[in-house]
Structure 1
Amino acid sequence: MEKFFKFGERGSSAGQELRAGLTTFLAMAYIIAVNPSLLAAAGVPMNAAVTSTCVGAGIMTIFMGLFSNRPLACASGMGINAVVAFTLAAINGADWQVSMAVIFVEGCAILVLVLCGLREAIMDAIPVSLRHAISVGLGIFIAMIGLADGGIIVANESTMVAFGDVTSPKFLVGLISIVATVILYAMNVKGSILIGIIIAVLCGIPLGVTQMPTGIVSALDFSSFGAPFMVDSTGTVAVVRVLTTPILLVFAFSLMMSDFFDTMGTAMAVAKQGEFLNEDGTVENIREILIADSAAAAIGGLVGASSITTFVESASGAADGGRTGLSSVFTGIFFIIAAFFAPVISIVSSAATCGALVIVGFLMMTDVVDIDWTDLLEGFPSFMVIAGIPLTYSISNGIGMGFIAYVIVALVTGRGKKVKPLMWVATAAFLVYFLLS
């Protein structure tokens, strides 16, 4: 094991990697409760969503550890699972199998681009400011979903959105979730997000928000596995419907763009903590990391877990001493074990995950300082992305608005040459998408 993982060479040990793996699991285990609740809204059976979320994360995290030998963990990505639940479901007539087929196609496309060496070229074509803006926009979007789940904000015909009823049990559980998570996070408690959810679940019992489980352990539910190749409500194989429907292909493209940005930023963040970021800003073993991440996206759609991607919370494990892929193997094992406790996990209400979504949204806001707001070409398109994602309740819409704004501002300010060819292609694709919408 030492020869394969080289933890001695990297100043680590099996025990240290185990601790780091557990730290990463605790830091990102909130996804076990959050992802199924979102996927259930899209029509995926709850127990199946729990199984696919845990098993998918476990398998791909172990694969990442073995293939790249770096301390990165994978699970269903926040933001994209919201697209599955609230955007794709509305477009495809609530056929969740079709939504998963979109994710599957997107993942396969990214994998092909990585294997052909084109992923880095596409990354280079997108302005850095827009990459940061997408992360910030997703953060606000995720926090908005969390606040709505917790009853903190509600729909209002007069003002579009309003403050919730402070006396309602749902509001109280949501508030407890936020307060507990923030306090624990401020105290640097390991697994603060997961503990915050647990506290909110327990407080929800006397308030009638948390429903007691019918059991503790249950058999795994693999009914969502192979979703892209299932027949949808129209009698068409889901993946065939995606490949023959332009608007769904555009969605696959936009999700692919989102996956690009998240993974590159995450890899750099973890590499800095794990001491495999070179002085010139390049990440060691980046090709292996990108291949594993791209394969994870496709596997996520295949098993019905939404897009599985590399989690920035992996940095917590790297900061806690993770230096090799062994820590990822341990994290993956913890995820697979968690899959057997679906009844317990299913009692977690959406209100109880409010704090997790809000704190994750906060963490994603850090990229806002890396945008040059004094430059119209950098600032205005970034603003359109950041405002567009939450205000249109669509990640794709926000990204498209930012891309189009960037091209327009570049042209009118005489900087059209800054727009790279692939950026033109992406902008044209978004124009088609908006026209089709």
Structure 2
Amino acid sequence: MESFFKYGERGSSFGTEVRAGLTTFLAMAYIIAVNPAILSGAGIDGGALACATCLGAGIMTICMGIFANRPLACASGLGINAMVAGITATMCGGDWHVAMGVIFLEGVVILLLVLCGLREAIMDAIPVTLRHAISVGLGLFIALIGLADAGIIVAGNGTLVGLGDVTSPTFIVGIVSIIVTVALASRNVPGSLLIGIIVAVLAGIPLGVTQAPTGIVAPLNLSTFGAPFAATADGSLAIVKVLTDPMLLVVAFSLLMSDFFDTMGTAMAVAKQGEFLTEDGNVEDIRPILIVDSVAAAAGGFMGVSSITTFVESTSGAADGGRSGLTSVTTGVLFILAAFFSPIVSVVSSAATCGALVYVGYLMMTEVTEIDWTDVSQGFPTFMIAAGVSFTYSISAGIGLGFIAYVIVAIFTGKAREIKPLMWIAALAFLVYFFVA
């Protein structure tokens, strides 16, 4: 085991890897309930969605562990699944198979971009300062997710955001998870993030946040598999409809841009916590990570669960000591088991994972010291990424705002020649993306 995953060489151990995998799984487990809740609006059977969500996440996370050997986990991406539900009704004639065909096509195209080296080349063209900015933005974003899930941050009355009800059970569970996690982490207690989640789950029992499971075993339902190749009402295959509809091709481009840069940001964030980010801000051995992530996107469309992508919650496992693919394999196995025991897994509320996400956000914010804020050509684009990711609740949108700002500031400060050609292309692509998304 050690000779394959090399976790010993990376300063980890078998026990630490397994624990980190469990931490990542618990931080991501909410997707088992949330993905069906969103996609069921497109007319897909909820039971089949829960099963396929678990299997898709499990299979692709295990592939990530085996082929990339890094502590990254995959599951159906939030945001994209909401878009799938939306286009099913508005652009796909109510046929969710066609929407999954869009996802499948996007995944295949992004895989081709990886295989021809374009995705890596664009990552290499990003200035080091902007790479630090992505980590900072992801830190704020992760913390925001955790705080919102616990109801600590809510939509305000007359304001965009506000403080939640301090007497709310979910608020209390979230605060408990933060206090326990930070207290243990400050004492360097191994597994502090995992312990924080478990304590919060237990605290949620008397408060009514942790619900009793509705059962133990759930039957497998694979009826969503093969969605892009299902026949539509007029007898044609769903994927054929996508390829012959210009508007659906535009949607596929929008999804491609989102997947493309979401994964880039997530990989850098996890690499920082997992100690495989180089001094110049490059992710070590990024190619197999991008290949698996691209295959996962197409696999998500095939399985009927929306695009499967690398989850930013993977940072929780990396922060808990995960350094190799064994962490991912552990997470993946747990997802596959969850396909059979999803009623039990669903007792872990999103509020219980608040502490882990907030603490990881804090760790990632330390990147802010690497940025020269006195230089507007570096500081302002950095600010736009950091603010954009969290304020728009979109990794790709925040990165796009920062890229465009970088090019504009460079032009007006006489540094246009320092911009690499692919950065020009990326900024232009984001302009198009913002107008067609």
Q: TM-score interval w.r.t. the shorter chain?
A: 0.7 to 0.9
Query: Given the superposition, is the C-alpha separation of residues 17 and 173 from structure 1 closer, same or farther in structure 2, using an over 3 Å criterion?
Result: closer
How many pairs does the alignment contain? 422
Matches within 5 A, 1:29-428: 29-44=25-40, 48=48, 50-68=50-68, 70-76=69-75, 81-84=77-80, 104-226=104-226, 237=238, 240=242, 244-264=248-268, 266-267=270-271, 270=274, 272=276, 286-303=286-303, 304=305, 306-309=307-310, 311-313=314-316, 315=318, 329-428=329-428
Distance 1:356 1:337, change over 3 A: same
CA contact (8 A) 1:136 1:365 kept: yes
Given that 2:60 and 2:332 are in contact with CA atoms closer than 8 Å, whether structure 1 keeps it comes out as: yes
Q: Counterparts of 2:49 and 2:192 in 1: how far apart (Å)?
A: 23
Q: Is residue 28 of structure 2 the alignment partner of residue 28 of structure 1? A: no
Structure 1 pair 278/84, CA: closer, same or farther in 2 (3 Å)?
A: closer
2:263 aligned partner, one-letter code: D
Q: Distance in 2 between matches of 1:433 and 1:281?
A: 26
Question: For residues 368-418 of structure 1, what are the alpha-carbon distances to aligned partners after superposition, in whole Å with 9 as ceiling and x for unaligned?
Answer: 333322221111011112112222333333222212111110110111112
Question: After alignment, is 173-182 or 278-287 more displaced?
Answer: 278-287
Q: Distance in 2 between matches of 1:188 and 1:340?
A: 35
Q: Is the contact between residue 102 and residue 249 of structure 1 (CA under 8 Å) also seen in structure 2?
A: no
- The answer as to whether partners of 1:36 and 1:53 remain within 8 angstroms in 2 is yes
Q: Distance in 2 between matches of 1:111 and 1:367?
A: 30
Report the Cα distance in structure 2 between the residues aligned to 1:353 and 1:123, rounded to whole angstroms.
31
Deviation at 1:164, TM superposition (A): 1.5
CA separation of 1:205 and 1:253: change in aligned 2, threshold 3 A: same
Distance in structure 2 (CA, Å) of the matches to 1:147 and 1:265 = 19
CA distance in 2, matches of 1:5, 1:209: 41
Distance in 2 (CA, whole Å) between partners of 1:159 and 1:282 is 39
Cα distance, 1:183 vs structure 2: 2.8
Cα separation, 2, equivalents of 1:6 and 1:138: 27
Instruction: Give the alignment's Cα RMSD to 1 decimal.
Output: 4.0
Contact map agreement 1:176 1:200 (CA 8 A) in 2: yes
Compared CA separation, residues 188 and 219, structure 1 to 2 (3 A): farther
In structure 2, relative to structure 1, the CA distance for the partners of 1:47 and 1:354 (3 Å cut) is farther
Counterpart CA distance in 1 for 2:368 and 2:49 is 33
Judged with a 3 Å threshold, the aligned counterparts in structure 2 of structure 1 residues 132 and 155 are, in CA distance, closer, same or farther, namely: same
How many angstroms does 1:40 deviate by? 4.2
Task: Classify the secondary structure of the residue corresponding to 1:30.
Answer: helix
Asked if 2 retains the 8 angstrom alpha-carbon contact of 1:106 and 1:256, the reply is no
Q: CA offset at residue 295 of structure 1?
A: 2.6
Aligned CA distance change for structure 1 residues 93 and 62 (closer, same or farther; 3 Å): same
Matched residues in 2 for 1:110 and 1:422: separation? Answer: 16
Q: Is there any run of 5+ residues in structure 2 with no aligned partner, and where?
A: none
- What is the letter of the counterpart of residue 174 of structure 1? G
Aligned AA for 2:80? V
Q: Which amino acid aligns with 1:161?
A: V
Q: Secondary structure at the match of 2:161?
A: strand
How far apart, CA to CA, are the structure 2 residues paired with 1:124 and 1:282? Answer: 7
CA distance 1:305–1:434, change in 2 (3 Å): closer
After superposition, give the CA deviation of every residue in 1:6-56 in whole Å (9 maximum; x if it has no partner): 869x769xxx86424312312312244232344245235765555445433
Look up the SS of the partner of 1:29 in the other structure: helix
SS of structure 2 residue aligned to 1:308: strand
CA–CA distance in 1 between the matches of 2:102 and 2:180? 36
* Matching residue's letter, 1:299: A
CA distance in 1, matches of 2:145, 2:192: 20
CA contact (8 A) 2:36 2:50 kept: no
- Shift of residue 228 of structure 1? 5.1
